[in-house]
Structure 1
Amino acid sequence: MTVTANIDSSRPVATLINVFTVAPERQHELIALLTRATEETMKHQPGFVCANFHASQDGERVINYAQWESEAHYRAMLANPEARVHMDEAATIAVDVQPRLFHVASHHGKG
């Protein structure tokens, strides 16, 4: 079953938006690491919903937009040593890492 991000202000998920600043020549390397970490570890953690990676056109940023069923699930993942290994490795590639949890305050669609 494929699960995609569902942006909906009535849906109580914890949304992680993590902004990585990276040297342009390492952007692809960081995305490959995050993709591998998600496939091998993150998506098997309790409460994981989905993860999406966005590459800035200038090569200097990677945005991780991920959803967890709750903040407690997200915090449990942070405490997992297997997940920490991937996060620590990403921090060696990125120049700066800025993770923040959000809730959807407002959502607007065309239809």
Structure 2
Amino acid sequence: MSLIRPMDPAFPIERQIALEASSVVLVNLFTLDPADEPVFLQAWQDDASFMKRQPGFISTQLHRALGDSPTYLNYAIWESNAHFRAAFTHPEFRASLAAYPSSAVASPHLFQKVAVPGICVA
């Protein structure tokens, strides 16, 4: 992958993974050249297969933007940030990033659910 661009430059993923938290959601926005979609999808599938085998993984889903924009949104749910950190820093996963097309830009960020009375639970 040619570039990781933080959603929040003041608090990039490298700082987020150092925190202790339970039940985290990774949101990752990808942009890429249209010609690179098949390579991107294969690389993402391979990474998702690796992540599914890791302790603490709950689920993932990939979404594609409507229309001609080759923009993808992935979210993955993990039991804890410690589990995500172990998978994200695993040498096998880090090496797999080279399989992404050079046009791919990823913007990963970690989130936790928020309780809003009468609307949603944490």
TM-score of Structure 1 vs Structure 2, range by shorter chain = 0.7 to 0.9
Contact kept, 8 Å, 1:16 with 1:99, in 2: the verdict is yes
Please name the residue that 1:38 is paired with. 48
**Match for 2:62 among 53, 68, 75?**
53
Letter in 2 for 1:75: R
Cα deviation for residue 91 of structure 1 reads: 6.3
Structure 1 unpaired stretches of 5+? 1-11
Please name the residue that 1:99 is paired with. 108
Cα deviation for residue 106 of structure 1 reads: 5.0
* In structure 1, distance between residues paired with 2:32 and 2:115: 30
TM-score by length of 1: 0.73
Trace 1:53-92 onto structure 2 (pairs within 5 A). 53-57=62-66, 58-90=68-100, 92=102
Please name the residue that 1:8 is paired with. none
TM-score by length of 2: 0.67
The structure carrying a bigger helix percent of its residues is 1
Secondary structure of 1:38 counterpart: helix
* In structure 2, distance between residues paired with 1:76 and 1:24: 32
Cα deviation for residue 82 of structure 1 reads: 0.7
Q: Give runs of ≥4 in structure 1 deviating > 4 Å.
A: 106-109
Do the aligned partners of residues 85 and 92 (structure 1) sit closer, same or farther apart at CA in structure 2, a change above 3 Å counting?
farther
Do the aligned partners of residues 106 and 26 (structure 1) sit closer, same or farther apart at CA in structure 2, a change above 3 Å counting?
farther
Contact kept, 8 Å, 1:91 with 1:97, in 2: the verdict is no
* In structure 1, distance between residues paired with 2:60 and 2:41: 12
Structure 2 unpaired stretches of 5+? 1-21
